[in-house]
Amino acid sequence: MAQNQLGGPEEKDKASTALKDLLSRIDLEELMKKDEPPLKFPQTLDEFEYSFNEKGQLRHIKTGEPYVFNYHEDLHRWNQKRYEALGEIITHFVYELLEKECHLKKVYLPCSEAFHESLSSSVAVP
């Protein structure tokens, strides 16, 4: 039995153009934000309810479980932002640990002209 065809190549091109036009008007960033909790996150490990155990592993204070990326199902963007916020806190924690426990000093080195807007940091022995 022969199948019904959707017209010739010209009609398919028109449909494809119309679909592309429709998709170009959709703001994916806004669509992803729909029903998303605010992007306000804790400022400390304690506020995140995480700490490092005696083996140096990041664990939830109440459950002892490792970090859970998918805190909210189907909200990848929000989960990613939460992960990045926790990462910033851990970075500061590690620098403090290196300075206090290892007696290292944080030294800022100027970058080349191409990277003038930002500074690179390094840890050095005093």
Domain spans, the chain: 42-106
pLDDT the model gives residue 49: 95
H/E element holding 81? helix 76-101
Residues with Cβ within 8 Å of residue 81, at least 6 apart in sequence: 39, 41
pTM comes to: 0.60
How far apart, in whole angstroms, are the C-alpha atoms of residue 96 and residue 89?
11
Q: How confident is the model at residue 42 (pLDDT cuts 50, 70, 90)?
A: very high
Average pLDDT of the residues of the chain: 81
C-alpha distances (whole Å) from 84 to each of 23, 24, 77, 91, 95 are 30, 29, 11, 10, 17
Cross-strand bridge partners of residue 108 = 121
Q: How confident is the model at residue 53 (pLDDT cuts 50, 70, 90)?
A: very high
More confident residue, 26 or 96: 96
How far apart, in whole angstroms, are the C-alpha atoms of residue 33 and residue 51?
30
In the chain, the percentage of residues whose pLDDT exceeds 90 is: 45
What does the pLDDT look like over 55-67, one tens digit per residue? 999 999 999 999 9
How far apart, in whole angstroms, are the C-alpha atoms of residue 52 and residue 65?
11
Q: Which amino acid is at 78?
A: W
How far apart, in whole angstroms, are the C-alpha atoms of residue 25 and residue 72?
28
In this model, does residue 31 exceed pLDDT 60? Answer: no
H/E element holding 51? strand 50-52
Q: Contact 120/109 with Cβ under 8 angstroms?
A: yes
